Amino acid sequence: MHQPPPVVHRGVFRGSDVLRRGVLTRGQLRTSAYRRLRPDVYVLSTVPVTHRLHAEAVALVAPPAAVFGGHTAAALWGGQEFAGPADPVEVVLPTGIRWHASGVHVRTASLAGAVVGDGLLRWTDRTRTALDLVRRGSLDEAVVRLDHLVRAGICDLAAVRSAAAALPRCRGSRQAREAAGLADGLAESPPESRLRLLMRRGGLPAPVPQFEVRADGAFVARVDFAYPEHRLAIEYDGLWHAEPGQFARDRRRLNRLSAAGWRVVFVTAADLHRPEELVRRIADALRG
């Protein structure tokens, strides 16, 4: 049975390099002991495949000046949910450098003062990562993305707002400013961000997000959105409510809210696709 040499236990490696040095034979490299991540880049098959691992593979073949950005940078900052093993790696190259590779999204941009590293990889700093991500896609999705980044502790909302305000006129700069102004970083899930934007667009009064309901000084519940003066809560009812035991916990929580004199409007994913009806239902509840 082939025993991998110590040198390949260090992580990703170039196939051409180990063949040239005689560390492995071509036949050994083709065995199930190794996984091919991309042309000429391999890793031991026992190593878990993550987005970072793919980034390390790209770093072996990319120009030295290459920096990881976008969703890849967000993942490197700890937001693994932003990019998984199947997602393309995003690379930013300084102006004047050209490079293309399969499975890699490459763009060119200035990188002055916006790069960090860990000795192995280099990627855009927290604020630059957020700024780049909110300049793409629709405005609503940019707000959802920024809320998520702030909530995950990847960036500071005030810093992103300041950087967005300082952007020169360029592609996505207007959207970046609008998204930074609309984000609050408090939503605990993307649907909550979308619900908040929907209520705003529908002309409803701005609710208080993540509000703690108290009765006689005692904690009752924390609700997604609240109109305290109306004792009305707006709650997004996601799939996690179907988890074992969650129904009973939700029922006890609802009973506590009712006992404290609060009403609750529950919103589902289907409701978000019927915005006019949902806005009308919340408006009716505010009048009730």
Average pLDDT taken over every residue of the chain: 93
The domain locations on the chain are 6-47, 62-182, 190-287
Residue 279: per-residue pLDDT: 98
Side-chain-facing half-sphere of 266: CA atoms under 13 Å: 8
For the whole model, what pTM was predicted? 0.89
* Res. 238: pLDDT tops 80: no
Determine the CATH number of domain 190-287.
Answer: 3.40.960.10
From CA 268, how far away is CA 279, in angstroms rounded?
13
- pLDDT of 140 reads 97
Q: Please give the average per-residue pLDDT across 37-48, as a whole number.
A: 96
- Which of the residue ranges 7-21, 55-69, 76-90, 200-214 would you say has the lowest mean pLDDT? 7-21
What are the tokens at 84?
């998984």
In this predicted structure, what is the pLDDT of residue 7? 67
DSSP letters for 152-218: TTSS-HHHHHHHHHT--S-TTHHHHHHHHHH--S--SSHHHHHHHHHHHHTTPPPPEEEEEEEETTE
What pLDDT is attached to residue 251? Answer: 79
Residues 3-30 pLDDT 10s? 777 767 679 999 999 999 999 999 999 9
The values of phi and psi at residue 211, to 5°, are -90, 135
Both tokens of 148, joined, read: 């998520």
